Amino acid sequence: MNRLRQQLGLTLVEVLVTVVLFAVLLVPAISALQTGIVGAGVHADVAANHYRLTSALEELLAEPFTDLADAATAAGGPTALSSYSEAAGTPGRLLVYLAFYDGDNADSDDDSFTGGDDGLLWVRVQIEGAPSSLETIRARGY
């Protein structure tokens, strides 16, 4: 019986080729997983910052308009920190900017912060060193 015998198992060459293929393909797969894990951490930080900013902005909007207007007057403009900002050196310090807002552009200078309208305040909250911020307009009586 000179028939070819049926193969009963894997040869050493087949096993070695399989191991090499797995080793070569495993590197990009692990790299992709690592990117996903890092991305999840970044997303958690961004989400935490967003909720912190939202909470701070809501607390500011709950303040009486006159208190915010007084703080805007004391700050002196949209680029100066207001008294509602956290103390320097605080980790993740919240920065609060308040300024009177020119909603109708009656002075025709296209600058939102000159000739501010009575009863309109611009409010901005951001975390020091973070790229995100929230801002809104607060009207007297709201």
Between CA 59 and CA 68 the distance in angstroms is: 12
pLDDT in tens, 36-54: 888 888 899 899 999 999 9
Give the count of domains, the chain: 1
Q: How far is CA 36 from the centre of its chain?
A: 18
Contact 60, 84 (CB under 8 A): yes
Kindly indicate the confidence band of residue 17, based on its pLDDT and cuts at 50, 70 and 90: very high
pLDDT in tens, 85-132: 999 999 989 999 999 998 887 778 888 888 777 789 999 999 999 889
Please indicate, yes or no, if residue 89 is contained in any of the structural domains: yes
Widest Cα–Cα separation across the chain: 107
Q: What is the average pLDDT value for the chain, to the nearest integer?
A: 88
Which residues span the domain enclosing 37? 12-139
Please indicate, yes or no, if residue 6 is contained in any of the structural domains: no
Residue 4 has pLDDT above 70, yes or no: no
